[in-house]
């Protein structure tokens, strides 16, 4: 398959990352069909997509009147997996952006991949899981590529392109070409636990959580310090809220299980937030209180500081 033959993407999973990818693909001129089985996903996706395309139009296409509306017109959300499957026959790329659950991803990929045309590629947005394992499950090892976008995808240029041991070189190169055409800055990483970015980022973030539960720092001072001293655009706690405590927990646990590195075991504060549904931006409460994508203020976690072995860790 050649670059100019790629016209349509099928996107399975329309949470925040999925919708962000859709916005970027629409900006690139592609037709996109999307599906998510979660109740209310279509309505939430449409609302989030409108905001994303509005941002893109204002920041990158201010001279194009009606940009957001024209881009959105190339996107179709279907209501059932059967309808999505029927659309895959006309897609050149399927992008999987569902939960960070290896078994679930493999089940979905094995079910959907056979409906793609010969030569079509499959991308996965996984941030830490074995790309090769998913490639095998899909039955299309040579056409399967890891494409880990940074959050928020439509704003961040980097994409971690994961090369597994049975990928076809032509598919890897085509993936890089498509991503560059979307204005991305892709880089190739190996298919190891955490790849390149999360191999370094996740231990850093988990240590920040532990510092918070030891009472060493507050949420706002922690982020302000990283912004002012290390040049972080938003700090570790805001970044975590954009990613979501559910995703952070799953990524950390998957990396811990794969490596048995104790630094990667999710801290109590992260497990508690995940269990309580304090997922960050997507629920309006995480390390910050949120009004849409606007942080209202950092939360006070002093009552959860672990001071001794007598501290009760209530979930």
Looking at the structure, tell me whether residues 175 and 210 fall in a common domain: no
DSSP state of 263: G
Work out how many domains the chain is built from and give that number: 2
Separation CA 141–CA 121 (nearest Å): 10
Separation CA 153–CA 24 (nearest Å): 7
CA 16 to chain centre: 7
On whether residue 315 sits in a domain, the answer given is no
Looking at the structure, tell me whether residues 118 and 165 fall in a common domain: yes
Domain encompassing residue 165: 3-190
Strand partners, 35: 12
The CATH number of residue 14's host domain is: 3.40.50.720
Q: What is the pLDDT of residues 77-105, one digit of tens each?
A: 999 999 999 999 999 999 999 998 999 99
Looking at the structure, tell me whether residues 148 and 45 fall in a common domain: yes
Of the CA atoms within 13 Å of residue 113, those in its CB half-sphere come to 23
On whether residue 280 sits in a domain, the answer given is yes
- pTM, full prediction: 0.87
On whether residue 313 sits in a domain, the answer given is no
Separation CA 198–CA 178 (nearest Å): 23
Q: What is the pLDDT of residues 24-45, one digit of tens each?
A: 999 999 999 999 999 999 999 9
Residue 313 has pLDDT above 80, yes or no: no
Looking at the structure, tell me whether residues 91 and 74 fall in a common domain: yes
Residue 221 has pLDDT above 90, yes or no: yes
According to the model, what pLDDT value does residue 17 have? 92
DSSP state of 192: S
Looking at the structure, tell me whether residues 141 and 224 fall in a common domain: no
Residue with tokens 């559910």: 246
């Amino acid at each position: 398959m050649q670059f100019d033959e790629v016209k349509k993407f099928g996107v399975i999973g329309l949470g925040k990352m999925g919708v962000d990818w859709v916005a970027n693909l629409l900006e690139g001129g592609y037709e996109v069909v999307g599906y998510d089985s979660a109740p209310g996903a279509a309505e939430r996706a449409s609302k989030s997509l409108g905001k994303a395309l509005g941002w893109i139009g204002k920041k990158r296409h201010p001279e194009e009147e009606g940009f957001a509306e024209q881009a959105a017109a190339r996107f179709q959300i279907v209501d059932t997996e059967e309808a999505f499957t029927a659309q895959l026959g006309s897609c050149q790329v399927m992008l999987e952006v569902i939960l960070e659950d290896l078994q679930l991803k493999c089940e979905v990929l094995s079910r959907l991949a056979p409906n793609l045309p010969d030569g079509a590629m499959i991308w996965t947005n996984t941030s830490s899981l074995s790309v090769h394992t998913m490639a095998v499950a899909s039955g299309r090892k040579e056409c399967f590529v890891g494409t880990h976008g940074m959050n928020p995808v439509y704003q961040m240029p980097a994409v971690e392109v994961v090369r597994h041991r049975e990928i076809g070189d032509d598919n890897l190169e085509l993936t890089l070409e498509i991503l560059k055409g979307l204005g991305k800055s892709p880089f190739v990483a190996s298919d190891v636990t955490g790849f390149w970015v999360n191999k370094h980022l996740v231990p850093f973030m988990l240590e920040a959580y532990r510092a918070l539960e030891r009472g060493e720092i507050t949420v706002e001072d922690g982020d302000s310090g990283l912004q002012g001293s290390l040049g972080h655009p938003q700090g570790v706690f805001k970044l975590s809220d954009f990613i979501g405590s559910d995703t952070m927990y799953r990524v950390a646990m998957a990396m811990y299980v794969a490596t048995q590195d104790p630094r990667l075991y999710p801290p109590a504060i992260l497990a508690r937030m995940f269990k309580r549904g304090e997922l960050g931006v997507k629920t309006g409460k995480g390390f910050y209180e949120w009004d849409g994508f606007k942080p209202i203020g950092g939360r006070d976690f002093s009552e959860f500081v672990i001071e001794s072995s007598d501290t009760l860790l209530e979930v």
